[in-house]
Copies of this chain bind each other. A is one copy, B any other.
Amino acid sequence: MASKGVTVGLVGFGTIGAGVAKVLINNHDVIAQRLGFPLDLVHVADLDLESDRGIDLGDIRFDSDAPALVTNPDVDIVVELVGGYDFARKLCLDGINAGKHIVTANKALLAVHGNEIFGAASQKGVDVAFEAAVGGGIPVLRALREGLAANEIQSLYGILNGTTNFVLTEMERTGADFEVVLEQAQELGYAEADPTFDVEGVDAAHKLALLTSMAFGSTLDFKSIPTEGISQLTPLDFESAESNGYRIKLLGIAKRHVEADGSETIESRVHPTLIPRSSMLANVDAAMNAVAIRGDAVGPTLYYGAGAGEMPTAGAVVGDLMEIAREVRREQSGRVAPLAFPQETLKPKPLRALGDLVSRFYVRIEALDRPGVLAKITGALGEQGVGIESIHQQGASPGEVSVPVVLWTHEVRESNMRDALKTIDTLAEVTAASNVIRIEEDL
């Protein structure tokens, strides 16, 4: 095996499983560059051997024998994506007993059976990783485990369920009733046919159980978390929230308290919550997720991204695979590279010239308020093919020698823009070098 990569077996070849296979196959090279060795998918198991998942497995073993996969001696790491409780639990425990590391996205399984599964893994000395189980592709578990490890965590607020956040965003936007918006969400694929787990807060509570343990070092205790959903909310609630400067979000909340007698208690709860419009969390819309974590050293932090979906979730699963693969191959691969890629693989890459940037621009020109000046400016722009979206000249106050002309352009190459401004800045009426701000829309 010395020259081969670390090997992966995948149980469950549905939407997320297909995404994981796509990332492992399509991003094989960049993953191998980052790791210093390849990460190879060698075995896939699913009861459905027929459906087209849009990915060619080539000569990778593909069968319906999940129990054989989790003990396959050619597999280093098992990815469990079958979902549910009993069969998934047995696969994980059998894999652990066979010395396999486990990666899973199954929050329900871990919230309910995590104490048993993590205990077995700890005894056997193998890893169980589950970044994809909370916040989809957002590396929030890693932040708690590593980035904020020096902090005593004080509080955590999470928008942990995309379905409910989509419904709340639409109820606020449209003023419609819960049932109407839920039906739309189902039609758009944002809510399942039976939406109970999402709508009543159970999925958020599964995730909050994991986050609470990781924040405070407490045993997993899903069943004790008070949980309320969003089905009782009405349009009036959103109107009243808005007129008072609030928005309504379904939050998972966890806090740590030191009581008067010095003992430690924690809060862990899921319910609709009014939060100030100006807070970062209040601006998390549609199906997006975010977790705000406050540590005693770092203060407030926030992690935002897609909380579900094929590729975000698959990316998180493969991130976990890579971290475990580094452990498996530590002796060969050495340490984590400081710049994320092994030092010897870094290469100079040409920087694109700023003149090649295509963007809309905001331009401010200081010019004397004489007849014909706008014609000269727009003429110079037109010669370079710079389209004008809007132009505004501020009237001069008596005694002022020049006034600002503000214009917003259509998309254009920066070099054309600059050439036009060179001409404009030499006009007799222009009193100072013009000022440009680039516009970015796609963020």
Contacts and interface: CB of A to CB of B under 8 A. Distances in A.
Given A139-B146, A142-B142, A346-B218, A274 B312 contact: no
A21 interface: no
A38 interface: no
Contacts of A274: 362, 437-440
A213 B346 contact: yes
Contacts of A127: 335-336, 338
A178 interface: no
Contact of A327 (B269, B317, B335, B394): B335
A131 interface: yes
Contacts of A408: 244
A311 B336 contact: no
A323 B439 contact: no
Contacts of A334: 125
A406 interface: yes
Interface in A376-419: 390, 392, 394, 404, 406, 408
Contacts of A72: none
B276 A441 contact: yes
Contacts of A343: 118-119, 121-122
Nearest to A274: B439
B152 A148 contact: no
Interface string A277-290: 01111011000001
B352 A266 contact: yes
A236 interface: yes
A348 interface: yes
Interface in A319-335: 319, 321-323, 327, 330, 334-335
Copies of the polypeptide in the assembly: 2
A394 B239 CA distance: 12
A339 B217 CA distance: 7
Interface stretch (A73-81, A83-91, A185-193, A302-310): A302-310
> What bracket does the count of chain A residues touching chain B fall in?
35 or more
A51 B350 CA distance: 48
A318 interface: yes
Interface in A416-443: 435, 437-443
A139 B147 contact: yes
A347 interface: yes
Interface in A286-304: 290, 292, 294-304
A275 B440 contact: yes
A27 interface: yes
A47 interface: no
A357 interface: yes
A292 B435 contact: no
A362 B274 CA distance: 8
A130 interface: yes
A219 interface: yes
Contacts of A232: 435
A181 interface: no
B221 A348 contact: yes
Interface stretch (A62-70, A245-253, A367-375): A245-253
A352 B265 contact: yes
A3 to B, nearest CB: 22
Given A155-B442, A221-B351, A298-B305, 16 more contacts: A34-B149, A138-B301, A139-B148, A149-B319, A157-B440, A217-B349, A225-B351, A236-B394, A251-B440, A253-B440, A265-B351, A274-B440, A279-B443, A280-B280, A280-B304, A300-B305
Interface of A: 19, 23, 27, 30-31, 33-34, 114, 118-119, 121-122, 125-131, 136-139, 142-152, 155, 157, 210, 213-221, 224-226, 232-234, 236-237, 240-241, 244, 246, 248, 251, 253, 257, 263-269, 271-276, 278-281, 283-284, 290, 292, 294-306, 309, 311-312, 314-319, 321-323, 327, 330, 334-352, 354, 357, 362, 364, 390, 392, 394, 404, 406, 408, 435, 437-443
